Amino acid sequence: MTQIIAIIFIVPGFFLITVAVIGVLRFPDFYTRMHAAAKIDSLGVVLTLIGLAIYNGFSIASVKILFIALFVWLTNPISTHLLAKAAHHAGVKVWKKKEE
């Protein structure tokens, strides 16, 4: 039963990470790529880590995995905000679609 619950968390996590990678490769500028990497990747990594903690069962390793998930959940939005602020301060331009 715990394996099924773990799969319910891991599969959407891997899917979201895959979507984030596709977004990073396909989006046109720094800001949209950063948005794809930060928002979706945070949730994907946290879901995957929670699934791994469930799969591992209650042990010290699963507690460590949950602490890593909490750390990622707290630090990824902050680091993304600081990267965007630094890029804006450095003068990175926003992509504009060319009129045809």
pLDDT at 9: 95
- Determine, yes or no, domain membership for 100: no
The tens place of each residue's pLDDT in the chain, 100 residues long, gives 889 999 999 999 999 999 889 988 998 888 888 888 887 878 899 999 999 999 998 899 999 999 999 999 999 989 989 998 999 999 888 888 777 6
Q: Within 13 Å of residue 2, how many CA atoms lie on the same side as its CB? A: 8
pLDDT at 100: 64
Q: How many domains does the chain have?
A: 1
pLDDT at 85: 92
pTM of the prediction? 0.81
Q: Please classify residue 19 by burial: count the beta carbons closer than 10 Å to its beta carbon, then call 0-12 exposed, 13-18 middle and 19+ buried.
A: middle
- Determine, yes or no, domain membership for 62: yes
Range of the domain at 28: 2-90
- Determine, yes or no, domain membership for 27: yes
